[in-house]
Amino acid sequence: MIVQDIVEKLGLKVCSGANGLNREIEGGYTSDLLSDVMGNADENHVWVTLQTHKNIMAIASLKELAAIVLVKGYEPEADTLEQSNEEGIPILSSEEEAFELTGKLYEIINQAK
C-alpha cells in the first residue's frame, strides 16, 4: 500500500510533498506530542496529528515516516510545506477528526496486509 492509495480511499487533500505519493505505508501512529512520536512512531508509518509546526517535518524525516495527515482540515504552515516538498514526504489533510480518521486508516492498512 502506498500513500496515493490512502489519498484516494479517504479523499485526502495533498497539501505538499506530492513527489512522495509512492512511498510505502506499513502502519500508522496518532499523537500530537512530537516527543512521543519521536520515541514511538516507526519507519513507513503514516502519522495522524493536528500539529502544523515545521518541527513535524523534522520528526517525519528523522523517523522516515511515509506521510503526515493533518486532521480537522488543518493546513501546514508555509515553512512546513516548503520542507515537505524538499524532503518528498507528503503532508495530507482530512476534514475528519483524529478518532474517525485513525479508525478508517487502521482498517484500510490492515486489510492490505
Partner 1 sequence: MNKYRADLHTHTVLSPCGDLEMSPVNIVQKTKECGIDILGITDHNSTLHAPLIKELAAKEGIMVLMGAEVTTKEEVHCLCFFENEEKLSEFQKYLDQHLPKIPNDENKFGYQVVVNEKEEIIDEIECLLISGLNQSIEEIERKVHELEGLFIPAHINKMMNSIISQLGFLPPDLNVDALELSHHITKEEFLKKNKYLSKYNFIKSSDAHYIENVGNKWTNFFMEELSFCEVRKALRLEEGRKVEIEE
- Nearer residue to partner 1 within complex by CB, 35 or 111: 35
Question: What CA–CA distance (Å, rounded) separates 26 from 113?
Answer: 8
Least distance in angstroms from the C-beta of 89 to partner 1: 15
Q: Interface with partner 1 includes 78 (CB under 8 A)?
A: no
Q: Interface with partner 1 includes 33 (CB under 8 A)?
A: yes
The residue count for binding partner 1 (CB under 8 A) is 14
- Nearer residue to partner 1 within complex by CB, 59 or 89: 59
Question: What CA–CA distance (Å, rounded) separates 1 from 35?
Answer: 27
Angle at 49 between CA 44 and CA 52, to 5 degrees: 105
Least distance in angstroms from the C-beta of 83 to partner 1: 12
Q: Interface with partner 1 includes 77 (CB under 8 A)?
A: yes
Residues that bind partner 1 (CB under 8 A): 32-35, 37-38, 51-55, 58-59, 77
